[in-house]
Structure 1
Amino acid sequence: MTIEDAAARLDKHRNSLYRIEAGETKVDVHLARTMMDVYDHYAPDLLDQVRDALAPGWWTTYGLRNMGYVDIETEAVAVRELTLLHVPGLLQTEDYARAVLESGQRWSKPELAAHVKVRMVRQRRLIAEDDPLHLTALVDETALRQRIGSSALMREQLEYLTMVAEIDTVDLRVLPQTIGAHAGQRGPFTLLYFPDPAEPPLLYVSYATGALHSEDPDQVNRAKVLFENLRGLALAPAESVALIERVHAEFE
């Protein structure tokens, strides 16, 4: 069945179906039932999944909407993240997070406070007993030296990194400047893994005007290979902490 045929039988414009297939528009329960009839394919748990997807995310209690990445991360069990200019959000102090968010977009004071709070809440999963989140973070040394806010703020952030590096769910590794140019400098990215082994990892890439979410096997596999290659170039966890401590001393 072509998308034009399906759109006509569903009383939808084909662009609406394209947006649904791309994950840009959510499906309601009525449309899901109709689609199963039109496609002559019944999925027993699909309607429950639709209801779950339509339920407000936990971050809405802070007055925020459309937190696409947070929605995905909430479902994930493991995150592999490469960062170049900033410390990963899951490892930021409150003051550092506020400074980064302020530099990226103009927020009202309530909006900024809400985004900072959500970022702090996300970090709780790193130490949660139930449903913990495992983070492997590759951080370019540039991010450690990039001054965000005051020297005091940077010292606090670097001290915090040395502490969270001790958490069992955190694997923090620094890509030192001594390795020179590397393939990861083309841009930061994140890989997210989910509880069901049959569910493919998702590649997330943020850019100036939006973000890319991809489950394309080729793109995901290339990102996985790149991440593993970079992890081989990075310092071991203990050596990474030692470097962080040296950079900390330079902010004194």
Structure 2
Amino acid sequence: MPPERLGFTDVVIDSDGILRRYLWYATFNRDSPCQTEMSLSLQLALHYLAAEGIDPKVTPEGEVQLGETTLRSLPGYAGNYSGTSNAGYQMLLDYRTPGDIAQRVTLKQILSDQFEPSWVKDRVVLIGVTAPSIEDDFRTPFSQDSNQTIEMRGVFIQAQMVSQILSAVKDGRQPLWVWSEWEEFFWIWAWGSLGGFLVLVCKRLFHWVGVGIANLVVLSGVCFLVFIQGWWIPLIPSALAFVATGMIVGYKRAVLVSCSVLGN
């Protein structure tokens, strides 16, 4: 079978067992039985887009461009993934609601002709197994929203990945992305500086605590709103810098005041 008709289905699981990243391009060892460099979902998306005259191009930065959309690889410094494996080309998975991802048709419906041709015409069709006896389940961010262990079948994971690429190219749905390293550094530095500045202008401790809590709420809200727009910016490091700098500046100011009182 030619390589252009093959695709790997390997996934990258986070340390907590949740599937949040999408491995869409990788180079395997020569002795590996899998020699295709593209994931199944990427192959399906490329074939679908090729039929519409959209072919992949490589940017000067080495990223893949499809139409007006650039598929950027997740950098190694990104958030909680700093220092973890970033082998191959990875993206953050922007999950759709599981029930809305695609039309579902059973094999029984196909064999008994109980489906509409429009369900499959000019569409990407994925064939998979949903039987409980087959171990092909993955925990997703939706699994954390329930007291029960909710897992997603592999075929639906692939559907999520295909949908993400096609939505980005055809609908302009911004894939989840992160700032550059210097932008993240400036953002964290700015919030740390703000924490120290507020200590200097707030004369009483409870004033600083109240203003500090309000600013942390604003920080959380900004990060959430930006996340909805497709950008993942550092929340926890910024909050820690804000609180830590405020405490350090507050401690030094208290020491200076104590020394001044003793001197008098």
Higher relative contact order (CA closer than 8 Å, sequence separation 6+) = 1
Structure 1 or 2, whichever has the larger Rg, is 2
Q: TM-score when scaled to structure 2?
A: 0.22
Q: TM-score when scaled to structure 1?
A: 0.23
Bigger share in helix: 1
